[in-house]
């Protein structure tokens, strides 16, 4: 990594017109309500344990809804073939596993936070790669352990996230490495996973919704 000597506004950085970006940041700071999101997805059970068709939904930005067919990305979640076979599934298959996809999303968001932050700081990144892994105990999911203890505290299914980030570039000093580590905390998905966010389920009958 090296620090740009040219003014950021003079040329694109990692695909960003920095002059336009600075204008946007000024607008966002002066109008915070205009950059607030509401994001959502819906998952429909496919009649087989673990198998769900998930689709992203329209989103809200600054109170305005954006709904395009092209944004309805669909994923078909399931499990590992070996796991399905072990637990007694008929005709086990391989599908994207939801936890792994969540980890993949975290790598993308961390990379995004680092690349944006580096562009804003005038730091050139040649290569960036993030690997995320976690230990997972399926006992609660399998019904072998209660989801809460006697005091009502949720049972933790996971160990700590392991996040390994590799960067390359000229003049890669310890100060830059420290800044990259700090930039990780700007990642929205990292925030979603690492901090406590309440998510109380609201359950209703589908017939009730139609009334």
For residue 109, CA distances in Å to 2, 85, 143, 161, 193 come to: 23, 33, 32, 15, 12
Q: What is the pLDDT along the chain (211 residues), one digit of tens a residue?
A: 344 444 444 678 888 999 999 999 999 999 999 999 999 999 999 999 999 999 999 999 999 999 998 889 999 999 999 999 999 999 999 999 999 999 999 999 999 999 999 999 988 888 999 999 999 999 999 999 999 999 999 999 999 999 999 998 887 788 889 999 999 999 999 999 999 888 889 899 887 766 6
The pLDDT value given to residue 5: 42
**Phi and psi (nearest 5°) for 31?**
-135, 65
Contacts for 104 with CB less than 8 Å, ≥ 6 apart: none
pTM of the model: 0.89
Residue from 61, 12, 59 nearest 33 by CA: 61
Helix (H, G, I), strand (E, B) or coil at 126: coil
Q: How far apart are CA 205 and CA 193, in angstroms?
A: 29
The pLDDT value given to residue 210: 61
The pLDDT value given to residue 182: 95
């Amino acid at each position: 990594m090296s620090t740009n000597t040219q003014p950021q506004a003079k040329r694109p950085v990692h695909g960003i017109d920095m002059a336009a970006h600075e204008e946007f940041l000024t607008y966002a700071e002066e109008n915070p309500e205009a950059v607030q999101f509401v994001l959502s997805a819906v998952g429909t059970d496919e009649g087989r344990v673990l198998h769900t068709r998930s689709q992203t939904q329209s989103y809200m930005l600054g109170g305005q809804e954006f709904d395009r067919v092209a944004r309805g990305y669909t994923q078909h979640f399931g499990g590992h073939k070996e796991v399905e076979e072990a637990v007694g599934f008929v005709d086990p298959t391989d599908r994207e596993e939801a936890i792994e996809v969540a980890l993949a999303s975290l790598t993308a968001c961390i990379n995004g936070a680092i690349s944006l932050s580096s562009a804003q700081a005038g730091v050139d990144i040649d290569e960036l790669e993030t690997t995320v892994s976690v230990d997972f105990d399926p006992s609660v999911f399998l019904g072998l352990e209660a989801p809460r203890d006697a005091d009502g505290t949720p049972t933790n299914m996971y160990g700590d996230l392991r996040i390994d980030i590799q960067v390359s570039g000229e003049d890669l000093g310890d100060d830059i490495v420290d800044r990259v580590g700090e930039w990780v905390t700007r990642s929205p998905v990292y925030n979603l996973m690492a901090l406590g966010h309440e998510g109380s389920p609201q359950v209703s009958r589908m017939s009730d919704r139609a009334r």
